[in-house]
């Protein structure tokens, strides 16, 4: 009986330890509460850590603590980790998303500005720059904010949150893997993103063409008025 008790005790400890390990990459979830989402994040995060030694942890908050901004919250949270860690943090009520890495040398492995860009494609960035007559910042390729900004029907908001945050999480993980020269078996891949990009290129191409025709028509009308004078 003592042997069985010890064996059962060891089994419980093993299961608890393994559960703790597989839960650490979705570090905090106060929003989604979806086992499938949890499993996907932890599967990708675990593989990335095994192959690169870098932990990417997702934090899903209902709301930031009173009087604390998102960067301050992340800085405090980072004190809990001894390994190289990147935090991707989302606060629903504050409508905030941020990425913070420690040590700061980790930023060389991924493009934070691109991931957090509110603009999803180069074509969209060009159209916006053209409309504003400002080409100083053409950053695009955002994998989180464009999805978060999209409208969702009643009952689909959590799906929007999980899709956008996993998309960003996967983007960080895959960029790190590429920088380190490793292949992630659980990577999302770029096939779906390429299909979306093709549709957006076509859509915004029509917009650019429409702007071109409108500008051409205005210039022609202006020239006609000058000639009549």
Percent of the chain with pLDDT over 90: 56
Separation between Cα atoms, residue 82 and residue 17, nearest integer Å: 18
Q: Where are the domains of the chain?
A: 2-189
Can you tell me whether residue 156 is helix, strand or coil?
Answer: coil
Look at residue 95 in the predicted model and tell me its pLDDT. 95
Q: What is the pLDDT of residues 41-64, one digit of tens each?
A: 999 999 999 999 999 999 999 999
Look at residue 32 in the predicted model and tell me its pLDDT. 95
pLDDT above 70 for 225: yes
| CATH class as words, domain 2-189 | alpha beta
Higher per-residue confidence, 70 vs 156: 70
The pTM assigned to this predicted structure is 0.73
- Answer positive or negative: Cα dihedral of 116, 118, 124, 129: negative
Look at residue 8 in the predicted model and tell me its pLDDT. 44
| Backbone φ and ψ of 103, nearest 5° | -70, 165
Separation between Cα atoms, residue 176 and residue 211, nearest integer Å: 39
Separation between Cα atoms, residue 45 and residue 225, nearest integer Å: 64
Q: What is the pLDDT of residues 9-24, one digit of tens each?
A: 443 443 344 334 435 8
CA distances from 162 to 89, 111, 113, 152, 221 (A): 12, 21, 21, 12, 50
Nearest CA-CA partner of 55 in 176, 204, 222: 176
Taking all residues of the chain, what is their mean pLDDT, rounded to a whole number? 81
Beta strands 85-91 and 96-102 are antiparallel
């Amino acid at each position: 009986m003592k042997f069985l008790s010890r064996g059962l005790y060891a089994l419980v400890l093993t299961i608890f330890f393994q559960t703790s390990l597989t839960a650490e990459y979705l570090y905090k979830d106060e929003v989604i509460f979806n086992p499938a989402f949890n499993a996907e994040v932890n599967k990708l995060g675990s593989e990335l850590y095994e192959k690169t030694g870098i932990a990417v942890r997702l934090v899903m908050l209902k709301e930031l603590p009173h009087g604390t901004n998102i960067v301050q919250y992340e800085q405090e949270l980072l004190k809990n980790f001894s390994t190289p860690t990147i935090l991707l943090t989302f606060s629903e009520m504050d409508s905030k998303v941020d990425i913070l890495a420690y040590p700061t040398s980790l930023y060389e492995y991924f493009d934070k500005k691109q991931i957090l860009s509110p603009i999803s494609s180069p074509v969209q960035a060009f159209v916006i720059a053209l409309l504003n007559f400002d080409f100083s910042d053409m950053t695009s390729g955002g994998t989180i904010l464009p999805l978060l900004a999209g409208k969702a029907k009643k009952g689909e908001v959590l799906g929007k949150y999980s899709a956008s945050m996993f998309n960003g999480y996967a983007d960080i993980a895959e960029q790190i893997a590429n920088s380190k020269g490793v292949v992630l078996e659980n990577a999302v891949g770029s096939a779906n993103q390429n299909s979306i990009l093709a549709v957006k290129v076509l859509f915004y191409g029509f917009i650019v063409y429409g702007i071109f025709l409108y500008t051409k028509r205005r210039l022609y009308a202006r020239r006609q008025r000058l000639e009549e004078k």
